[in-house]
């Protein structure tokens, strides 16, 4: 597991979304800024707070030319239920084998839970920001919005 750094190219990947449709990072290159957030588990309190905070700010991200994508090791079925229950307008990707979680160097808390980590990736596929905090779920949105606004101001 290698740790990615700001300024590096984000590794491409393909994972199934909540509808079992494959989504790749390269689908967004040249088109949108990507806010890629990794989270431990659907329906847990911190993950629900984080997802709903992204939901509540989704139009701001979209209007700024960014797409929000959540990734966890939950199944596509779990993502469908989580997305529907909380009216989430963005894509949730299922990484049941944890291959992309490992590719992005996402560690574990207490050796059990995937770390809550957010990457902001520019239109060229370069990582512009990485924020990791297991306990400050809502701060992921604040940090990502700040960077997205800086990118569109350039």
Sorted by where each begins, the domain ranges of the chain are: 14-153
Alpha-carbon gap, residue 150 to 112, rounded angstroms: 35
Neighbours of 39 (CB within 10 A): 28
Tokens of 79: 């993502």
- Residue 52 annotated among the catalytic residues of the structure: no
pTM: 0.95
Helical segments of the chain, H only: 45-63, 76-85, 99-103, 139-153
33, 34, 36, 47: which one is catalytic?
Answer: 47
Asked if CATH classification 3.40.50.300 holds for the domain at 14-153, the reply, yes or no, is: no
Each residue's pLDDT tens digit, 106-137: 988 766 778 899 999 999 999 999 998 888 88
Beta-bridge mates of residue 120: 35, 129
Token pair of 37 as six digits: 């957030």
* 24 vs 36: CA distance, rounded Å: 12
The 10s digit of each residue's pLDDT in 20-54 is: 999 999 999 999 999 999 999 999 999 999 999 99
């Amino acid at each position: 597991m290698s740790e990615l750094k700001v300024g590096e190219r984000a590794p491409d990947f393909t994972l199934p979304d909540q509808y079992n449709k494959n989504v790749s990072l390269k689908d967004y290159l040249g088109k949108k800024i990507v806010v890629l957030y990794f989270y431990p588990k659907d329906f847990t309190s911190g993950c629900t707070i984080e997802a709903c905070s992204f939901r509540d700010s989704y139009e701001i991200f979209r209007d700024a030319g960014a797409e929000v994508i959540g990734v966890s090791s939950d199944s596509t079925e779990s993502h469908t239920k989580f997305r529907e229950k909380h009216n989430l307008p963005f894509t949730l990707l299922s990484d049941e084998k944890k291959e992309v979680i490992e590719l992005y160097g996402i560690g574990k808390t207490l050796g059990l839970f995937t770390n809550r980590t957010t990457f902001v990736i520019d239109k060229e596929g370069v990582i512009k920001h990485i924020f990791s905090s297991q306990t400050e779920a809502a701060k992921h949105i604040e940090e990502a919005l700040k960077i997205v606004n800086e990118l569109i101001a350039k």
